[in-house]
């Protein structure tokens, strides 16, 4: 695949799971990265369309407040057959400021049976008109802002019948989701759950669906007695109706925006935990009950930590639930966070990476997002940049600065990848689709900007300002200015410059840095150093930045810190130096700048930086630069880094080994073999194993691989299996067959990886059966593509034809956009493989075997027809963008 294409793959991966927490596992997934090559794509055309589309965006005003929704009471039950909700809503209002005689509510695709005014004496019907998106109600009189009134609505919500652009049901914003509603799908539980953000809760209850609205709520959920339910606030009562149903009554007495309302029901095990005297519960499928504590167990400690920094957790309880076929990563519904199924992991799976960042992110929203809410989606960074930085803060507190700064590194890459094709204001009032706000600007860039602000004002001022911001604005919605004002009040300093540069403008500094040391003849004035920095960004598009930063000057272990303020395009700072030529001049010594940089620095300085500069980002940068060197001393430092205290450095150093000189092959082999078996971190053992497979394909390594096959990490054992089958096909297939019946999803994916390349046609059954045993969308996505690749190797046209409904069913019906994309990719690859087969049957334009050639063409056209039909039905912009089908 080509480089430009990989960019787009990354874009799609970054957009993956957009509603609250973008989940980026797929970006690390090699399968995704190589497969897209099969999809027709014109990058230039795409970029052109895309940049045109973003230039023409309209201004997005905050929702105009006419009536204030004070309280929502819902009584709901479900029609599983039709996937509908029957609801009775009692809503309390008062005019926001000006008197009014009418009320407009968001209510998408309902059947409305009745709308009445509720008074002390009973109900009196109100006149209304309904356009299937909003209902316009004529009140009985004009109300003033001191007068409350109540409206009753009897309705049916029909999320499956919602239309998107004249096409079929919207899969990603229908608000209410029935999973396996008729219990016909094997291995899948029946569930119902909701997803409100951004404006989808009005698909299941009438409301003012805007982030600057705020209400208290009660929900009565009537459901099969076998199910448990979860909603916001506290479970006040649970009443058995004696007819096989039960009514659970949930009540939240603190106001929150309507998009944060949720419900979920299904057969969950509830793992009970607590923080102080508050309930902290984890709802998982019964099979994962025993892992509940391992998955969520740090939640009480996070509550403690965040409360100590930002004021006590404000809400009545904290529950988290994991549901099937979720359309996003996770959602911070007030007191009831909802997660996708990927969160359910066994203890062994967690060795290859857990989801603690997601858990801290959603919890942090309960201060930034739920307690203080962005006034409009234009201000979304006030929710998402904070939640992203919450991940950093938790890591820093729990695991130290290295683990936290590793997160910063990831944020920078995420933002820069997006910045290649799209740069925009962080707070942006002009956008096409509000869903577009959930991008790497709002998350990754914003998180880094908050980190810079912290480094500028200092920790004390940073936390005091945020505490003040929360205290002043709690239970209200805010714009970016409220944040600035809180910082200004605490620090006593005008901060417009910082907020204008970073929140209200686009782009980032592109710095060129060089240093020059001068010996002075004059012993009185001493030696000095010139540090010259140029801001090379195009200042017609991005600001000329004012950047305060630190410069550390090293002589051995001794460090002298200076602060400089860069505020010109081309600027030289002259700093005094004592002790001769420094061993290292470390510009941006806190490594906090959100920028790209070219730095003129000697190799010896990077060596010094690796050994003496304190931060993960110092060491990571140093070995990355040293890897470019062929010098033996640089090689020795990389070898040294194999013992770094932080795992990511050890893992990166393995990758850099091949380019370093001065180390014997035997020395490297011994060290890396040892790491592949004994490093404490699974990710490092995996990197070591990958390195060995690539560089030491000798038979004698089989012993290491067979030991690694027994590793506690699935990632490591899967790599070992791949290595073994590559060196000894029979042996590897033998191991794979022994694992075929495993109940573990990760093992199935490993086996599929082997069969994709080496399995005979008798493995068809394994693929057909295996898929239904998977839960995690990452596994499912991989498996779909592995199955397609397995089929691409076969000459059995019937087998391929048998498989087509499998792929098209996923491409058409899966809830998750990337799964539908996976189904389409699987088909597109099969189509292209047939095309290639037909090409291969030609020599100098002449067809060698006409029958075989025509068969391949016929099959190619059949699959091509299916792909076209599926693409025409697809409405999700992310899938279409990925396929290069255009904006709308």
Residues binding Zn ion (CB under 5 A): 20-21, 384, 387
Residue 445: DSSP 8-state:
I
- Closest CB to Zn ion among 384 and 776? 384
Task: Record the tokens describing residue 75, joined without a space.
Answer: 């009584």
Alpha-carbon span 786 to 790, nearest angstrom? 6
CB 313 within 8 A of CB 244: no
**Structure tokens of 517?**
């040391």
- Please state the closest distance from residue 150 (CB atom) to Zn ion, in A: 34
Nearest distance in Å: CB 648, Zn ion: 24
Residue 220 pairs in a beta bridge with 75, 249
* Omega before residue 198 within 30° of 0, cis: yes
Identify the residue whose tokens are 């699987």. Answer: 826
- CB 569 to Zn ion: min, Å: 36
| Tokens read off for 458 | 């200092």
**Nearer to Zn ion by C-beta: 20 or 105?**
20
Q: Report, in Å, the least distance between residue 876 CB and Zn ion.
A: 20
Which is nearer to Zn ion, 440 or 803 (by Cβ)?
Answer: 440
Count Cβ atoms below 10 Å from residue 44 Cβ, excluding itself.
8
- Residue 365 Cβ vs Zn ion, minimum distance, rounded to whole Å: 6
- Nearest CB to Zn ion, comparing residues 8 and 322: 322
CB of 852 to Zn ion, least distance (A): 53
129: three-class secondary structure by DSSP: strand
Task: Report how far residue 265's alpha carbon sits from residue 51's, in angstroms, rounded to the nearest whole number.
Answer: 42
Alpha-carbon Rg for the chain in angstroms: 29
Residue number with CB closer to Zn ion (139 or 256): 256
How near is the Cβ of 390 to Zn ion at its closest, in Å?
9
Nearer to Zn ion, 384 or 621 (CB): 384
The residues pairing with 215 across neighbouring beta strands, listed in sequence order, are: 256
CB of 260 to Zn ion, least distance (A): 12
Cβ closer to Zn ion: 368 or 499?
368
* DSSP secondary structure letter of residue 746: H
Which residue lies nearer to Zn ion by CB, 371 or 720? 371
- Shortest Cβ 357–Zn ion spacing (Å): 11
Nearer to Zn ion, 273 or 384 (CB): 384
Distance between CA 614 and CA 616 in Å, rounded? Answer: 7
Indicate the residue among 331 and 838 with the shorter CB distance to Zn ion. 331
Tokens 């944060």, located at residue: 260
Question: 20 or 866: whose CB is closer to Zn ion?
Answer: 20
CB of 19 to Zn ion, least distance (A): 8
User: Shortest approach of Zn ion to residue 528 CB, angstroms?
Assistant: 48
Strand order in the sheet with 570-577: 570-577, 527-535, 510-518, 596-599
- Residue 798 buriedness (CB in 10 A; 0-12 / 13-18 / 19+): exposed
Residue 14 Cβ, how far from Zn ion at the closest point, in Å?
14
Is the bond leading into 686 cis (omega within 30 degrees of zero)? Answer: no
CA separation for the pair 762, 768 (Å, rounded):
11
Please give the distance of CA 589 from its chain centroid, rounded to a whole number.
29
Handedness of CA 7, 9, 13, 15 (dihedral sign): positive
- How far is Cα 227 from Cα 265, in angstroms, rounded to an integer? 6
DSSP state for residue 169 in the 8-state scheme: -
Whichever of 216 and 442 has its CB closer to Zn ion, that residue is 442
Nearer to Zn ion, 248 or 362 (CB): 362
* CB distance 35 to 829 below 8 Å: yes
Using DSSP bridges, classify how beta strands 336-339 and 318-322 pair: parallel, antiparallel or unpaired. Answer: parallel
The pair of structure tokens assigned to 191 is 């569930």
Integer Cα distance of 576 and 518 in angstroms:
10
Task: Identify which of residues 17 and 282 has a Cβ nearer to Zn ion in the complex.
Answer: 17
Question: Rounded to an integer, what is the distance from CA 483 to the centroid of its chain?
Answer: 25
Closest separation between CB of residue 328 and Zn ion, Å? Answer: 9
Residue 572: phi, psi to the nearest 5? -120, 130
Question: Closest separation between CB of residue 467 and Zn ion, Å?
Answer: 21
Q: At closest approach, how far in Å is the CB of 387 from Zn ion?
A: 4
Nearer to Zn ion, 20 or 103 (CB): 20
Do residues 715 and 679 lie in contact, with contact meaning Cβ atoms separated by under 8 Å?
no
Q: Where are the alpha helices (DSSP H) in 27-98?
A: 30-35, 43-55
Of 197 and 876, nearer to Zn ion (C-beta) is 197
Cα 604 to Cα 863: distance, rounded to the nearest angstrom: 58
Closest approach of Zn ion to the CB of residue 23, in Å = 11
Sign of CA dihedral 148, 152, 158, 164: negative
Q: How many Å apart are CA 591 and CA 53, to the nearest integer?
A: 35
Q: Which lies closer to Zn ion via its Cβ, residue 196 or residue 823?
A: 196
Closest approach, Cβ 440 to Zn ion, in A, equals 13
Q: Which sign does the torsion angle of CA 309, 315, 321, 323 carry?
A: negative
Nearest to Zn ion of 17, 469 (CB atom): 17
Q: How far is CA 671 from the centre of its chain?
A: 35
Residue 258 CB, nearest approach to Zn ion (Å): 17
Q: How many residues does the chain have?
A: 888
Sort 276 into a burial class: Cβ within 10 Å, 0-12 / 13-18 / 19+. Answer: exposed
Say how far apart CA 57 and CA 64 lie, in whole Å: 20
Helix (H) or strand (E) holding 176: strand 176-179
φ, ψ for residue 175, nearest 5 deg: 80, -50
């Amino acid at each position: 695949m080509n480089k430009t294409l990989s960019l787009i793959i990354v874009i799609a991966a970054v957009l993956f799971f957009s509603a609250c927490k973008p989940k980026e596992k797929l970006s690390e997934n090699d399968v995704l990265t190589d497969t897209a090559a099969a999809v027709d794509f014109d990058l230039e055309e795409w970029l052109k369309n895309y940049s045109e589309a973003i230039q023409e965006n309209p201004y997005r005003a905050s929702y105009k407040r006419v009536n204030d929704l004070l309280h929502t009471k819902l009584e709901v039950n479900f029609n599983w057959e039709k996937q509908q909700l029957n609801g009775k809503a009692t809503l309390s209002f008062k005019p926001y400021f000006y008197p009014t005689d009418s009320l407009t509510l968001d209510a998408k695709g309902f059947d409305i049976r009745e709308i009445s005014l509720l008074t002390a004496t009973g109900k009196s019907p109100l006149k209304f008109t309904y356009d299937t998106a909003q209902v316009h109600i004529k009140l009985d009189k004009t109300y003033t802002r001191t007068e409350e009134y109540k409206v009753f609505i009897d309705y049916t919500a029909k999320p499956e019948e919602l239309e998107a652009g004249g096409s079929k049901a919207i899969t990603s914003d229908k608000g209410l989701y029935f999973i396996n509603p008729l219990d016909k799908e094997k291995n899948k539980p029946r569930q119902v759950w909701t997803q409100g953000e951004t404006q989808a809760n009005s698909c299941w209850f009438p409301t003012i669906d805007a982030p600057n609205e705020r209400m208290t709520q009660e929900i009565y959920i009537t459901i099969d007695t076998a199910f448990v339910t979860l909603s916001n606030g506290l479970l006040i009562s649970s009443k058995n109706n004696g007819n096989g149903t039960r009514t659970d009554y949930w009540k939240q007495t603190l106001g929150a925006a309507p998009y944060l309302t949720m419900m979920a029901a299904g057969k969950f095990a509830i793992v009970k935990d607590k923080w102080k005297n508050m309930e902290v519960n984890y709802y998982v499928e019964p099979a994962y009950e025993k892992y509940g504590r391992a998955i969520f167990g740090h939640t009480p400690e996070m509550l403690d930590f965040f409360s100590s920094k930002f004021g006590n957790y404000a809400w009545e309880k904290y529950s988290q639930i994991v549901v099937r076929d979720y359309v996003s990563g996770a959602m911070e519904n007030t007191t009831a966070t909802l997660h996708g199924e990927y969160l359910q992991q066994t203890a062994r799976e967690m060795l290859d990476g857990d989801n603690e960042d997601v858990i801290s992110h959603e919890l942090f929203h309960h201060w930034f997002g739920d307690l203080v809410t962005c006034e409009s989606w234009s201000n979304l960074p006030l929710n998402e940049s904070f939640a992203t930085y919450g991940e950093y803060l938790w890591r820093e507190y729990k695991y130290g600065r290295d683990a936290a700064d590793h997160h910063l590194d990831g944020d920078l890459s995420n933002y820069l990848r997006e910045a290649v094709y799209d740069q925009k204001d962080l707070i942006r009032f002009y956008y096409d689709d509000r869903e577009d706000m959930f991008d790497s600007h709002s998350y990754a860039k914003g998180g880094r900007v908050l980190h810079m602000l912290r480094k500028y004002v200092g920790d004390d001022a940073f936390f005091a300002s945020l505490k003040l911001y929360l205290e002043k604005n709690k239970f209200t919605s805010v714009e970016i200015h409220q944040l600035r004002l809180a910082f200004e009040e605490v620090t006593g300093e005008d901060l417009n410059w910082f907020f204008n540069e970073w929140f209200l403008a686009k782009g980032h500094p592109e710095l060129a840095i060089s240093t020059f040391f001068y010996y002075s003849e004059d012993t009185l004035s001493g030696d000095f150093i010139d540090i010259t920095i140029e801001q090379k960004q195009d200042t017609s598009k991005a600001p000329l930045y004012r950047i305060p930063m630190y410069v550390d000057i090293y002589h051995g272990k001794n460090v002298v810190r200076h602060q400089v303020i860069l505020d010109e395009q081309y600027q030289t700072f002259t700093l005094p130096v004592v002790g001769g030529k420094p061993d290292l001049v470390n510009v941006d010594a806190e490594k906090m700048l959100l920028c790209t940089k070219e730095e003129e620095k000697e190799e010896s300085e990077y060596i010094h930086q690796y050994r003496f500069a304190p931060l993960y980002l110092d060491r990571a940068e140093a070995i990355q630069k040293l890897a470019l060197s062929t010098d033996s001393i640089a090689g020795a430092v990389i070898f040294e880094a194999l013992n770094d205290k932080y795992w990511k450095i050890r893992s990166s150093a393995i990758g850099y080994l091949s380019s370093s000189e001065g180390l014997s092959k035997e020395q490297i082999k011994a060290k890396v073999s040892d790491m592949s078996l004994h490093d404490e971190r699974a990710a490092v053992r995996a990197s070591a194993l990958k390195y060995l497979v690539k560089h030491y394909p000798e038979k004698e390594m089989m012993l290491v691989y067979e030991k690694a096959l027994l590793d506690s990490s699935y990632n490591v054992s899967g790599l070992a299996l791949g290595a073994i089958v590559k060196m000894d096909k029979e042996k590897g297939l033998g191991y794979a067959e022994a694992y075929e019946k495993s109940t573990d999803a990760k093992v199935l994916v490993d086996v599929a990886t082997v069969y994709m390349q080496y399995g005979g046609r008798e493995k068809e059954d394994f693929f057909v059966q295996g898929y239904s045993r998977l839960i995690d969308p990452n596994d499912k996505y991989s498996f779909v593509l592995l199955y397609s690749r397995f089929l691409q190797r076969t000459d059995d046209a019937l087998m391929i034809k048998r498989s087509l409904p499998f792929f098209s069913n996923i491409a058409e019906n899966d809830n998750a956009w990337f799964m539908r994309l996976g189904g389409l990719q699987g088909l597109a690859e099969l189509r292209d493989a047939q095309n290639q087969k037909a090409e291969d049957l030609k020599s100098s334009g002449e067809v060698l075997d006409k029958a075989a050639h025509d068969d391949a063409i016929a099959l190619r056209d059949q699959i091509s027809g299916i792909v076209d039909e599926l693409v025409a039905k697809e409405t999700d912009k992310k899938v279409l963008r990925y396929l290069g089908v255009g904006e709308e």
